[in-house]
Structure 1
Amino acid sequence: MARAAELVDLIAALTAIDHATVTRHARFVREAGYLSQSGRGLSAAHMTAGDAAHLLVAILNNGIAQEAVTILKHIGNMDVFKADVDKVQENASPDMLARLRGILPVLLDREHTFVEMLTGVLELATLDPAMFEERTRNSSIYFDCDDYQALVYFDINLADVPMIGERQTSFQYSYSHPTLQPKSQHFKKSTQLDFTGIARIGELIARK
């Protein structure tokens, strides 16, 4: 099981954000109750997919650590654009919908938030990191600090055996927050993370 300090190490490496910055963000997120705690310090508790999702969201702006919890609340609660979900359900075959529902059901929920999606993706990655990476190798998350929305590009292999057969499905989801205003002081830059990085986090969390 991964400790918070190990999760910080990996996220810093994957995002190329300064390690001390990620550590400070993690401390504020932990003190606000968004990281698991079972003792003192960042090395005490075992991390979950939800913990990793919270920390990833909190550092998306790569800004001031004291604002980490504000960022987490704003970005984490961004809602999926329902028309994106409807488009997937209308255009996908019943077989593809069934397979997608079996792999990652949150993606077909019209009411889910950004952090719920990210938690679901990370939970899937912990089950079989290698399989997850094979299924989602071309998928990525992009947070646009100018428009205050997250764009998630899913390219998911739905075949029973990775890369076999014609079962690749691609779609994009947008997540936005209705109250965020342009040029907010909380957001400093845009950030991108591909799903290979998500697979590495899943592998760490799943470690015995």
Structure 2
Amino acid sequence: MSKLGIIVASTRPGRVGLPIGQWIADQAREHAGFDSVELLDLGEIGLPLTDEPNHPRLGDYIHQHTKDWSATISKLDAFVFVMPEYNHGYNAALKNAIDYLFNEWAYKAVGLVSYGGIAAGTRAAQMIKQVIAAVRMTPVVEAVTIPFIPQYIEDGRFVPNDIVTVSTKAMFDELVRVDAALRPLREAS
């Protein structure tokens, strides 16, 4: 069993990513495949634009916020990125959070929960796959895509339909399988 980190990518005031992330975290806790679930809100973590002088593959961090981020990501086995689509792409805060580190991401599975308008964040999800492959993460095929996001927000809470709920379970099931397959690679590193 594994430790799951759910990263809420949006940092905008009034964002809907946080209620989605909270719902995803609740669903993950109900799922039988994870020892623990940690919600990581990039809006609260507040990483500055990458400010480390050394390449992250060296792990020679000088700033406390980077050391803390490294420790957080290192202790987790798999991830879910809850991400908006901005102008046909993923948002800068998520890219920045990934770029801070390198080895900490390696051989970890990631599920993508994307949201937006008619495209449901799918263009952002496709674009981020190049980035996560570069840090040796493995995206699972099963994903959660949420179109026309305002219809799912009621009184500040995310209220999914059956399609979202079923796709979330399928994503978690696959995360558990892929995490188990990647574990020997992490242990050998």
Q: For this structure pair, what is the TM-score category when the shorter chain's length is used for normalisation? A: under 0.3
Q: Which of the pair is proportionally richer in strand?
A: 2
Bigger radius of gyration, 1 or 2?
1
Q: TM-score scaled to structure 1, two decimals?
A: 0.24
